[in-house]
Each structure stands twice: as structure tokens, then as C-alpha cells.
Amino acid sequence: MANSELSKIKILFLYDFFMTKLNPYDFDSSVSMSELLDILEKETGYRFERKSIYSDIDRLNDFMRVSGKIKSGSDDWIYKEKKRYKVSELDSQITVDEAKLLVDAVNTTAFTDSGIADKIKELYPSYFGDAGNSVSLVRRDHKYSARLTALLNNFRSCINEKCVISFNYGYKLGSAPAFKEKREVSPLALDWSNNTYYLIAVDNAVYDRIEGSDRPIETAIRRFRIDRIDSTSFLHREKFRGFANAAARQKAIDNVIKNSVNAFSSEDVMEVTISLSFKADAKTGSDAVPKKEVLRAYNILSDHLNIRRIVSDSGLDTGELTVIAETADVPTFYSYLFQAGTVPGIDLSLGEGPVRDKYIVYLENARKAL
């Protein structure tokens, strides 16, 4: 086997594995010889001998040393510790925080293709193994405080270690806190939106209230603005409320982010039928295109709400569109309806139900405020 083509390229499989799958900044990132043999067998279909792997690791270390890639003060790139192989930091290697900052910058810059962030994650998969690690420690404009950094680090630690944390969560009047309440949560992930960091977490009190019912755990998840949080305290002895597996957890996190409206959360997510129609009036120009105006209004909604499906678009050319949106019953939902309804010539109507009644009250209060 020593002279076969497969044996010659085996070292390249090893190089790729140690470069991309192990994280020099994570003390738990390691691999055993048995695991290496299993990985290579899965990739190549051949079971190699241990002694050939030992030799390849020596060659990789020699290459890194001769090429000057090993960071000053390190003996080997690949080293062994308690029968498990780890990697040391390379001289020009990107750090975990730098990788997170790159992803954060891409995801929060409107003119950058978000697909670049996915490529970075594919290039450094060991840096992004947990949902809580998908957001950087600091904002990309570098205008951050030590307090914010400490809070983010605390929450990331809780996410990774699955520990409960408590904090005061409140609202401000001007710059002064006007109302605070104690919250006890099981952190799931960090999110960046509207130039603000948010903590996505299971509210333990809500979880305990619905446990044993037919309501999904997802309804106990809340989204907290981190700039409204203070007085954090780790509760290591408390039970962490979470999900049975990582896939279910990630799906719930994605749904909460998608269904949240401007950082508000609700136990109940609902479906609402929204109809948009165009009719030329004194405020619309003679050159107004019905289809364009309806799509303008629709995009205001789709930018902020999760549009589940389009019920009818057969009349789109003449200015008629009906969709079903999934959202939480929160104040900002009604403000987005109002924004869509103020597009010149657009008439917005809702299906029968409490949402329609609330929106009528919203419009009446807006009229009274004039």
C-alpha cells in the first residue's frame, strides 16, 4: 500500500482535517488515533495502519516548521496530550474572535453577500459548531463598552456550558431605568439585529408553566435586548431548560428569530390573512403602476414578517394580492401594517378576528392623535 496513489494523498486528508476541523483555541478540540483512522477510512474507503499516520504527522510538523508557519514558542503544530492529538496556533492563523467578527461584519453590512459568511463558516467549521458562537464578541464599529463585552462573554459561556443565568431586565425613560424585573433563563444563542445584540433564551418561568402541556418548548423562548440587561448571576445548580437534540434547538432558534417582530416576543404565534389592493386616488400619480404599488406595500410587510404563503396573486397585475403572515401579536406588528397601508393608493384589510379588531383600534388611536 505504501506506493499506491491513495497512500500518497492520505497526508493531504490529514492536513485538511487538522487545519479545518480542530480548533487551537478550544481546549476540548482533539482527536484520538482510532478516530483519525475511522475518519480516513470514511473518506477513502481504506483502513490505514497506525504507523503510517505517525509518519505523516511528523512530516506535517516538519513542513510547518520549515515553512515558518508555526507560531514562535511552539514546538510542533500537531502534538499529543493524554493519547489525543491537538493543534497549536499557527503564526498567521485567524483566531476564533476574528472569525466571528468577520461573520458578524458580513451579516450586518447591507451591500455584502451573506453567502460569504457561510463560506467563512465552511472554512473554519470548528469555530462555529454552536449556535451561540455565530455572533462576534463586539460590534463591528468597535464602539463597545467593557460592560457589553462582559455580558456577551457571560452569555456565551452559559450557552456553551448549558447553565442557567439570572438578570434584571428593564426599560428606560430617557437614559435612566424606569422599570426592572428579575428573569431566570436558559441561554440558547446570541443574535445581532437592528444594530443591537439580543439574547435568545428559554424563559424558565414560562417553560415550567407550560411543561407537560401540549404547547411546544418554542413558546417559552424569549428575545432580550442586551442593552436592557444588568446584574447577571450564574445559577449553576438550577436545571437548564432546553431541547432534546441540537437540530430541534436550532430549528426553534431560527423560528424565533424569523417570527420575532423588532425584538418583541409572545407566547402565541399566529397566522393573519392580509389583503392588499390598489385604487388610484388624488394622492397617486397618473403614471402609478398598480402592480408596483402593491409590491411596495408587500415588501414592507415581508421585510419584517414571516410570509407563510401567498393565497392569491392572480390579480397582481391589476393591483390585488392576498397573503398569510405568521407573527407574534405585538405592538410593532400593527405599526408595520400601518406602514404598508400608507403606500399611496393601497387599501389594506385583514381577515376576521381579534387582530382585525385591534388594528381598527390602532387606526382610531392614530386618527385621534392628529
Spell out the residues 6+ positions from residue 212 whose beta carbon is closer than 8 angstroms to its own.
Answer: none
Residue 121 predicted with pLDDT over 70: yes
Asked if 273 and 336 touch (Cβ cutoff 8 Å), the reply is: no
Tell me what percent of the chain is helix, strand and coil, each rounded to the nearest 5.
Answer: 45, 25, 30
Spell out the residues 6+ positions from residue 54 whose beta carbon is closer than 8 angstroms to its own.
Answer: none
pTM: 0.49
Confidence of residue 85 (pLDDT cuts 50, 70, 90): very high
Asked if 124 and 152 touch (Cβ cutoff 8 Å), the reply is: no
Across 47-84, b (16+ Cβ under 10 Å) vs e yields ebeeebbeebbeebbeebeeeeebeeebebbbeeeeee
Cα→Cα distances 34→30, 31, 37, Å: 12, 8, 5
* Alpha carbon distance 331, 308 (integer Å): 20
Identify each DSSP E strand in the chain by its residue range: 31-32, 78-81, 84-87, 164-173, 176-193, 196-203, 221-225, 229-235, 269-278, 306-312, 320-328, 346-350
Structural domains for the chain: 5-87 (1.10.10), 130-259 (no CATH), 270-368 (3.30.70.920)
What pLDDT is stored for residue 348 in this prediction?
Answer: 92
What pLDDT is stored for residue 138 in this prediction?
Answer: 45
What pLDDT is stored for residue 150 in this prediction?
Answer: 82
